[in-house]
Structure 1
Amino acid sequence: MSARTLHQIQQEGLEVLVDKLGPDDAIRFLQIYEPGSGDWTKDRKKYLENDPDKIIKSIMERRKKVPAP
């Protein structure tokens, strides 16, 4: 399997949207889609915790607050 170009991936994606949603809803989806902005690689350091002990503690505290289904 050879690597596809970004243009080929874009074309295939549009075809899938039209096949699954139909032309009208595919257009509506594209009109509401917002790709976002910023650099997640840099920004994630501000938002994600790197200390595994703190992550586990946070998960355990959340589990106490919300009962399991």
Structure 2
Amino acid sequence: MITDMKPLIEINQQAIHLLYKELGVVNAVRFFKQFTRGYGNYTQERDVLFANKSLDEIVSEIEKRRKKK
């Protein structure tokens, strides 16, 4: 069987539509997110964010933020 090759953009749009239809928007987005690599350098960001802080200080900040919600 020989079929016409669709443009990749058309295939992507059709696949996204099918995923939304079958899984719902939320679960389709969750599916897509597993394939994204993210960005930035968490190791460097973490070193800057938590520099000179003890574990107790970090836990205390987390607890304060949770109480505000």
TM-score band w.r.t. shorter chain:
0.3 to 0.5
TM-score scaled to structure 1, two decimals? 0.44
